[in-house]
Amino acid sequence: MFNKVAFIGAGSMAEAIISGIITTSFLKKEQIFVMNKNNKERLENLSERYEIHCDFNKKQLVAGADLIILSMKPHDAQEAIDSMKDYIQEDQLIISILAGVSTDYIAKLIGKEIPIIRAMPNTSASIGLSATAVTKGENASEEHLQKAVSLFNTIGTTSIVKEEEMHTVTGISGSGPAYFYYVVEAMQKAASEAGLDQLVASELITQTIVGAGEMLKQSGETASTLREKITSPNGTTQAAIETLDEYNVEKAMMDCVKNAKERSIELGKLM
């Protein structure tokens, strides 16, 4: 499907995707090329660990790549694209994972009628469990979209959405893993305060969150039903949920997603 894939940006998200696509054998190591801005040590480290090609020569990196994955921070995109747009051809496919940034804006930066897929994966890509959403820009075809779906399916699930929904998606699943880690951190603190052994607490909390996720996936029941099944009248869960309600955690979570979405919109405008 792809002969050569060039990552522009070699940070945590690029690594998560690289690790996912290598683990699932979607691409061979020698088909993957990566560059960053100037962190040579990071590139050497990636090259050693994944046996992929790392290259600071932009012309060489982009030449012959049928897929270019933009994986720098949104505020670095303009400079990065400016420095290599002359080497990018219209028959290459661009996938951008940049939060907030529209396909139209990237096409404008490149200055060509080039197919662009916008994607929002998350860091669980590194273990094949990303929840990724994709959308196609003006010059991308259904075939381009399906190619992107195939790629992202190797690192988890892939949903197709409208481009205007990408900001909300970012607030839900792009940033989403962090919300659960935040809850886990708080539970670990509570366990520690109560004197529970840290390792035991970690094991219990991790398995609890994995089990709850699998229940949502496998049981066919809604989150509300699953929660109600745990909540015995006047029991421990009722006491716990009443505390969450007192703190209006539902509103906090809704505002959390809303603010992530707003920030995604801002990131697109800051460019």
Ligand X SMILES: NC(=O)C1=CN([C@@H]2O[C@H](COP(=O)(O)OP(=O)(O)OC[C@H]3O[C@@H](n4cnc5c(N)ncnc54)[C@H](OP(=O)(O)O)[C@@H]3O)[C@@H](O)[C@H]2O)C=CC1
Ligand Y SMILES: O=C(O)[C@@H]1CCC=N1
Please give the residue ranges that form the binding site for ligand Y (CB under 6 A).
99, 170, 174-175
185 contributes a contact to ligand X by CB under 6 A: no
Residue number, 16 or 68, with CB nearest to ligand Y: 16
Residue number, 156 or 174, with CB nearest to ligand X: 174
Cα–Cα distance between 163 and 169 in angstroms, integer? 10
Residue number, 1 or 254, with CB nearest to ligand Y: 254
Find where tokens 């886990």 sit.
184
The residue range among 120-128, 207-215, 222-230, 237-245 that interacts with ligand X, by the rule CB under 6 A, is 120-128
Give CA separation, 217 vs 33, 214, 221, 222, in Å. Answer: 35, 5, 9, 10
Taking CB under 6 A as the criterion, the residue among 29, 42, 85, 263 binding ligand X is 42
Q: Would you say how long the chain is, in residues?
A: 271
Q: Which does 11 bind (CB under 5 to 8 A by kind): ligand Y, ligand X, none?
A: ligand X
State the minimum distance, in angstroms, from the CB of residue 9 to ligand X: 3
For ligand X, the binding residues in 1-40 under the rule CB under 6 A are 8-14, 35-39
State the minimum distance, in angstroms, from the CB of residue 214 to ligand X: 22
Cα–Cα distance between 167 and 35 in angstroms, integer? 27
Residue number, 62 or 114, with CB nearest to ligand X: 62
- Token pair for 109: 């930066």
Backbone angles phi, psi at 71, to 5 degrees: -135, 35
Q: Which does 128 bind (CB under 5 to 8 A by kind): ligand X, ligand Y, none?
A: none
Residue number, 39 or 236, with CB nearest to ligand X: 39
Taking CB under 6 A as the criterion, the residue among 71, 92, 154, 168 binding ligand X is 71
State the minimum distance, in angstroms, from the CB of residue 191 to ligand Y: 27
168 contributes a contact to ligand X by CB under 6 A: no
- Report the DSSP pairing between strands 116-120 and 93-96: parallel
Residue number, 92 or 122, with CB nearest to ligand Y: 122
Q: Which residues contact 60 (CB under 8 A, 6 or more apart)?
A: none
99 contributes a contact to ligand X by CB under 6 A: yes
Q: Per residue in 70-103, is it b (16+ CB within 10 Å) or e — as a string? A: bbbebebbeebbeebeebbeeebbbbbbbbbbbb
Question: Are 132 and 159 contacting, i.e. CB atoms less than 8 angstroms apart?
Answer: yes
Cα–Cα distance between 146 and 160 in angstroms, integer? 10
Q: List residues near ligand X by CB under 6 A.
A: 8-14, 35-39, 42, 71-74, 76, 79-80, 97-99, 120-123, 174
